[in-house]
């Protein structure tokens, strides 16, 4: 049994270097192309279908899932635990915003203190870890697809690999990169493989 966790394709705000958080921003043309290429990478490995699909309710995630799986999102199980990190007042601001909060969010996550309404990376790691523990308790098919976001996937690595916040930027998660998870025998998952979009960028939340 394997779980394929994919980050969505490039969104219009990724393209414009704007923090979107949980704003519902569509994929760019490049994001659609990235999702099509991710589908081809999976097909090249003989992965032609998924027995179950979970997705963040944000369209950049579920549209990526539609392209990758060939299924309409109405057949997906939408789960708010898969949404992107809440960034409070950083939402909608340029990556180039000169504030200390933005600089820490982008470059020094160990120093990042969320603005009102935001989550810390530890908060997000607890949310991601709780979802993974819940998922491990399901009767899953041979292959399950999970469609989510950059911040969530960094938090996933914090939860299952014990990474600290200061380590997460050392592990880029480019658009449409896929992490393949397998049960760890302890009620959660471990990373079995990474199917990377080598031509992509590690654009932020």
Please report the sign of the dihedral spanned by the C-alpha atoms of residue 109, residue 110, residue 112, residue 117: positive
**Rounded CA separation 95/88 (Å):** 14
Determine whether 84 is an active site residue: yes
- End-to-end Cα, the chain, rounded Å: 29
Range list of β-strands (E), 39-165: 52-55, 77-78, 143-148
Determine whether 8 is an active site residue: yes
Of 66, 73, 84, 86, catalytic: 84
Q: What is the pLDDT of residues 82-130, one digit of tens each?
A: 999 999 999 999 999 999 999 999 989 889 999 999 999 999 999 999 9
Q: Cα-Cα-Cα-Cα dihedral of 190, 195, 198, 204, to 10°?
A: -50
Of 8, 73, 149, 154, catalytic: 8
Q: Name the nearest CA neighbour of 148 among 157, 136, 138.
A: 157
* Mean of the per-residue pLDDT values of the chain: 94
Q: Which pLDDT score is estimated for 204?
A: 67
Question: Which domains are seen in the chain, by residue range?
Answer: 2-195 (3.40.50.1240)
Segments of the chain with pLDDT less than 70: 204
Neighbouring residues of 89: CB distance < 8 A, sequence distance ≥ 6: 101, 115, 116, 117, 118
If you search the block for the tokens 């099509």, which residue do you land on?
36
């Amino acid at each position: 049994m394997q779980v394929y966790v994919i980050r969505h394709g490039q969104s219009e705000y990724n393209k414009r270097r704007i923090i979107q958080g949980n704003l519902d921003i569509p994929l760019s043309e490049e994001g659609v192309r990235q999702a099509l290429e991710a589908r081809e990478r999976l097909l090249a490995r003989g992965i032609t279908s998924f027995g179950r699909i979970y997705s963040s309710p944000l369209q950049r995630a579920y549209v990526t899932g539609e392209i990758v799986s060939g299924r309409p999102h109405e057949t997906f199980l939408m789960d708010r635990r898969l949404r992107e990190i809440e960034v409070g007042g950083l939402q909608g601001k340029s990556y180039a915003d000169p504030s200390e909060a933005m600089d820490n969010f982008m470059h020094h996550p160990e120093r990042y203190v969320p603005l009102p309404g935001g989550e810390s990376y530890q908060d997000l790691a607890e949310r991601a870890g709780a979802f993974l523990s819940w998922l491990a308790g399901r009767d899953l098919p041979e292959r399950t697809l999970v469609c989510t976001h950059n911040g969530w996937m960094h938090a996933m690595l914090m939860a299952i690999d014990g990474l600290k916040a200061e380590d997460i930027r050392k592990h880029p998660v480019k658009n449409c990169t896929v992490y393949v998870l397998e049960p760890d025998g302890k009620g959660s998952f471990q990373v079995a493989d990474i199917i990377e979009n080598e031509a992509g960028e590690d654009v932020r939340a």
